[in-house]
Structure 1
Amino acid sequence: MVNDTLEGNRHRGIPRQGASPHALIDAIQGTLADFLTTQIASLDAVDPALGRFARTARDLVLAKGKRLRPVFAYWGWRGAVGPDEPLEPVLPAFAALELMHTFALVHDDLMDESDTRRGRPTAHRIFANQHEHARRAGDSERFGSAAAILIGDLCLVWADQLLARAVTPPSVRAYYDRMRVEAIAGQYLDVLGETQPAEWSVERALLVARHKTASYTVQRPLQYGLALTDQLDGTIEDAYSGYGLAIGEAFQLRDDLLGVYGDPAVTGKPASDDLRTGKPTALLMLARKLATPAQLAELALDPAGAVNPADGSGGPTPAQLERRARVITETGAPARLEGMIEERVADGIAALARAQIHEDARTALIELAVRVTHRPA
């Protein structure tokens, strides 16, 4: 039976299928907006403060984003069912992935002490600022952190609720749960790596990329979309897995490059956060591997100038960060990473050749492979 969320979206003119990327993203955005409206009203009725809290969560969810996970899930589904299957019954399942993604972003930003995301203040900064401006008792930063954790948790619960509104076969839940576990596992390895930079390596950084990014950005959403068809085909699933791991890793490698060389006005995130904290990304690990002794000395983190985890103070100066970025370039690591990206894109596209999927889906996935790995943000 079609749920209230879908009924609300039907009046927005959702197509039978997402005939274009914009139509699909509009359909996902509309589904999220309708669902969140009902959730906010429910919390508002309990206490106005909860309504304001939920509206902050809504604004984070609906902020401008790529919507990659729902899009990959859609094409994983579309590749198996073709162009004639109605979209509406499964649309909440696609939109639920965006709520799960917001959970991951909010917690990731808190762990990384990031100030901005998608060109806007991060959740913990929003709540810390609210606390400070209202002159409430206690520490503003602590309140911001606590509220951000709860925002992330709320988004994860909402994702479950929205998924429950879709018409799905039982097997979907196993793919969804695996995706969530792998994302959390990858995030833990990412956090661990910052505490053991000397013990990390390019291979370990790629393992993190595989779990933190490739799995829950491309590989599992594709398989999740396939599971929505209730027509699980081992050949298609294997092809999606090969494509998803290759393109997902390439996506993270591009993210590593953007984290050092990207324009904050375009990426919506602070420049050089990875260099500031010494995050052992594949880029930094490769630079250390290729560096001369003199370059390696310049790339080493000075414990005396480390970032203070209590308030984010300290750390390298802007001039030091610029110098570190230049040294990384001089090692040849960025050029080597570009080559690794190209290899993975080629491998991912080749994996699709083995899949008996509809040609429009194959074409869309090839275009996506190029677009998400050669993006400016």
Structure 2
Amino acid sequence: MTSSRVRKEVDEALYAFVDRQRPVLLAITEDLEPMLSALDTLLSGGKRLRPAFAYWGWRGAGGVDGPEVFSAAASLELLQASALIHDDVMDGSDTRRGQPSVHRRFEAMHAREGWPGSAESFGTGAAILLGDVTLAWSTEMYEASGLSEAALAPGRPIYDIMRTEVMCGQYLDMLEQARGTGDVESALRVVRYKAAKYTIERPLHLGAAMAGADAAYLESLSAYGLPLGTAFQLRDDVLGVFGDPTETGKPAGDDLREGKRTVLIALAMQSGTPAQRETLNHRLGDPDLDLAGVEELRGILTETGALDGCEKMIDRFAADAHRALAEIELTPEARTALTDLAVAATARRV
């Protein structure tokens, strides 16, 4: 099965679930239509990586095709929607996937209608609640996927720890921004829990566990998933500073305005001169940073060797993942798919 076919099946399952939920919300009141519209817009984008890794974890461990597994895997997109909505609120992000972020969308609605009170507070509150709804729906979709209890039961504790890890990873991310220490090890810890485990390792575990894989098999998947997930996030961090906005869906240098203490920034803080470190500390996190300021910080990240160092780390982690993949017992189709996914996750260049 090709990656495009997997995405098609995931999309169909995801949209069918939301369509079933639509009359449930509208039966309460038509005033909930803007929440559904905001969710529709958000779900129309995205790479569907987590469902893809869950599906190939299932197939690699001997699971057979069927609409039920796509439904279970697609539930991860609702978990991702919740994480993105809340993440954008905490970061104060204006855009997501080339569209206004959910809290900005509701803020604009409040202002457009001329309602009394704070438009910003309304936008934040509405977004938090929609994020809560999608979090609840992720569990509901998983449980209603149609898979047998024998398949669902071993997946539940993995789903539980996955939710816990990504929320703790988000807290660690906020903590690093608040501390502003610029420590490489701490930045990698954020990557591990907010991205590597959540994006690749746990979805693989989920799919494989549902197919009946044992603990040793899940451990072998970790040897592939953790380094690949780390490389994936490091690539995203590079693109968040140097990427093309038409590709990333965010304004140029948005991660710099949000003050993200990524590995890329930590490497620059580690290698930079006192003047370069002072400039980074002073300008990082400035919401009014203009394009000239973005270019100045990009120059520092390049001159200090941080960009080159991050690229080398990406190559090293990706190589570790490829080596581990060769040692895992997989169906041929799953091996090919996981190899292709590894390339797709890490080979994007600025």
TM-score (norm 2): 0.95
Out of 274, 290, 296, the position equivalent to 1:317 is 290
Q: Count residues in correspondence.
A: 346
Out of 291, 309, 312, the position equivalent to 2:272 is 291
After alignment, is 165-174 or 204-213 more displaced? 165-174
After TM superposition, give the deviation of residue 344 of structure 1 in Å. Answer: 0.5
Q: What is the aligned partner in structure 2 of residue 332 from structure 1? A: 305
Q: Is the aligned partner of 1:358 residue 2:309?
A: no
Q: Is contact 2:48–2:77 with CA below 8 Å preserved after alignment?
A: yes
Q: What is the aligned partner in structure 1 of residue 193 from structure 2? A: 211
Tell me the alpha carbon deviations over residues 198-224 of structure 1, each in whole angstroms, 9 at most, x when there is no partner: 2x4101000000000001100000000
Tell me the alpha carbon deviations over residues 90-149 of structure 1, each in whole angstroms, 9 at most, x when there is no partner: 221101000000000111111111111111111011101111111111111111111110
Q: What is the aligned partner in structure 1 of residue 213 from structure 2? A: 232
Q: Is contact 1:183–1:213 with CA below 8 Å preserved after alignment?
A: yes
Q: What is the aligned partner in structure 2 of residue 26 from structure 1? A: 8
Does the residue aligned with 1:300 lie in a helix, a strand or coil?
A: helix
RMSD over aligned Cα atoms: 1.6
Does the residue aligned with 1:269 lie in a helix, a strand or coil?
A: coil
Query: CA–CA distance in 2 between the matches of 1:169 and 1:189?
Result: 30
Query: CA–CA distance in 1 between the matches of 2:247 and 2:258?
Result: 21
Q: Is contact 2:49–2:199 with CA below 8 Å preserved after alignment?
A: yes
Q: What is the aligned partner in structure 2 of residue 12 from structure 1? A: none
Q: What is the aligned partner in structure 1 of residue 112 from structure 2? A: 133
Q: What is the aligned partner in structure 2 of residue 274 from structure 1? A: 255
After alignment, is 233-242 or 322-331 more displaced? 233-242
Q: Is contact 1:110–1:148 with CA below 8 Å preserved after alignment?
A: yes
Query: CA–CA distance in 2 between the matches of 1:147 and 1:232?
Result: 40
Tell me the alpha carbon deviations over residues 136-193 of structure 1, each in whole angstroms, 9 at most, x when there is no partner: 1111111111111011111111111100112133111000011100000100000111
After TM superposition, give the deviation of residue 376 of structure 1 in Å. Answer: 5.2
| Aligned residue runs from structure 1 range 95-106, under 5 A | 95-106=74-85
**Percent identity over paired residues:** 43
Q: Is contact 2:58–2:208 with CA below 8 Å preserved after alignment?
A: yes
Query: CA–CA distance in 2 between the matches of 1:165 and 1:275?
Result: 41
Q: Is contact 2:106–2:123 with CA below 8 Å preserved after alignment?
A: yes
After TM superposition, give the deviation of residue 359 of structure 1 in Å. Answer: 1.8
Q: What is the aligned partner in structure 1 of residue 177 from structure 2? A: 194
Q: Is contact 1:275–1:321 with CA below 8 Å preserved after alignment?
A: yes
| Aligned residue runs from structure 1 range 48-59, under 5 A | 48-59=30-41
Q: What is the aligned partner in structure 1 of residue 282 from structure 2? A: 301
Does the residue aligned with 2:61 lie in a helix, a strand or coil?
A: helix
| Aligned residue runs from structure 1 range 245-284, under 5 A | 245-284=226-265
Query: CA–CA distance in 2 between the matches of 1:118 and 1:160?
Result: 24
After alignment, is 315-324 or 33-42 more displaced? 315-324
Query: CA–CA distance in 2 between the matches of 1:260 and 1:20?
Result: 31
After alignment, is 95-104 or 358-367 more displaced? 358-367
Does the residue aligned with 1:301 lie in a helix, a strand or coil?
A: helix
Residue identity opposite 1:164 in structure 2: E
Query: CA–CA distance in 2 between the matches of 1:100 and 1:234?
Result: 24
Q: What is the aligned partner in structure 2 of residue 184 from structure 1? A: 167
Q: What is the aligned partner in structure 2 of residue 174 from structure 1? A: 157
Q: Is contact 2:42–2:97 with CA below 8 Å preserved after alignment?
A: no
Residue identity opposite 2:109 in structure 1: Q
Q: Is contact 2:55–2:69 with CA below 8 Å preserved after alignment?
A: no
Q: Is contact 1:202–1:286 with CA below 8 Å preserved after alignment?
A: yes
Which has a greater percent of helix? 2
Residue identity opposite 1:300 in structure 2: N
Q: Is contact 1:75–1:364 with CA below 8 Å preserved after alignment?
A: yes
Query: CA–CA distance in 1 between the matches of 2:165 and 2:240?
Result: 22
Query: CA–CA distance in 1 between the matches of 2:324 and 2:264?
Result: 25
Tell me the alpha carbon deviations over residues 235-264 of structure 1, each in whole angstroms, 9 at most, x when there is no partner: 421121111110000011001101110111
After TM superposition, give the deviation of residue 71 of structure 1 in Å. Answer: 0.3
Query: CA–CA distance in 1 between the matches of 2:288 and 2:105?
Result: 23
Query: CA–CA distance in 2 between the matches of 1:195 and 1:212?
Result: 17
Does the residue aligned with 1:211 lie in a helix, a strand or coil?
A: helix
Query: CA–CA distance in 2 between the matches of 1:97 and 1:252?
Result: 18
Query: CA–CA distance in 2 between the matches of 1:57 and 1:264?
Result: 22
TM-score (norm 1): 0.88
Tell me the alpha carbon deviations over residues 295-351 of structure 1, each in whole angstroms, 9 at most, x when there is no partner: 22322226xx964xxxxxx54333222101111111111111111001101101111
Does the residue aligned with 1:73 lie in a helix, a strand or coil?
A: helix
Query: CA–CA distance in 2 between the matches of 1:332 and 1:232?
Result: 43
Change (3 A) 1:131 1:98: same
Structure 1's unaligned 5+ residue stretches are 1-18, 308-313
